[in-house]
Amino acid sequence: MRVIAGSAKGRKLKSPTTDETRPILDRVKTALFDTLMGEIVDTRFLDLFAGVGGIGIEALSRGAASATFIELSPESYRLLRENLAITRLADKAETIRGDAFAFLKAAVAQGRIYDIVYVAPPQYHGMAARAVSLLDTEPLTTPGGLVIAQVHPRERADFADLSLHRLRLADERRYGATLLLYYEHSDVDAVDSEEASESSDGGEQIPSERAQENDNE
């Protein structure tokens, strides 16, 4: 695992020797940041379930203003901090060892705001859908912000029954055994006003789409 682009390009990152985390493949990470091109610079990035930090470190390397990393595992947390030192990006990073869901609840009370939130929990426990639901009801983003969930394609069904008010699925892309779901924080007041107006004049609402054609590999 390595940093793909930016100030730390080419730096090799340490990986865990156990299977408790699932580092993203370099080709998927490249595709992810290609879709975010132009949106990373000067952003506030939250790497939830950070593992050894591969995604948040890539964001910092590409110009994010800051990144917060949340990781519970002692071993992964240690490697995360070592990887920040290796890439010389520790001065832009905040690292928190703790439960991601506990952090989400505390972060709302603390008034934390991020531009991009990346959610990549352990697979097959419904944790990604639960996190997205919490980020919808108690958002850490503002309108225009992004929440990106990394899951196995078999976990896609977990999101089908979510009743989301602020977050709207804007794009989804599959790369082999990895599925990325892009949720955009919409302006709820503006959307409600528009829908009320269209309902009164009999017009048909055409949903806006951020999505491009899925890249299936």
Q: In terms of pTM, does the model score above 0.95?
A: no
- Distance between CA atoms of residues 97 and 79, nearest Å: 12
Query: Beta-strand (E) ranges in the chain?
Result: 44-48, 66-71, 93-97, 116-119, 146-151, 167-175, 178-185
Residue range 33-69, pLDDT digits in tens:
999 988 999 999 999 999 999 999 999 999 999 999 9
| Domains in the chain, CATH or no CATH each | 26-201 (3.40.50.150)
Residue range 80-132, pLDDT digits in tens:
999 999 999 999 999 999 999 999 999 999 999 999 999 999 887 889 999 99
In the chain, the largest separation of any two C-alpha atoms, in whole Å, equals 61
- Distance between CA atoms of residues 146 and 192, nearest Å: 20
Residue range 183-214, pLDDT digits in tens:
999 986 544 444 444 444 443 333 434 444 44
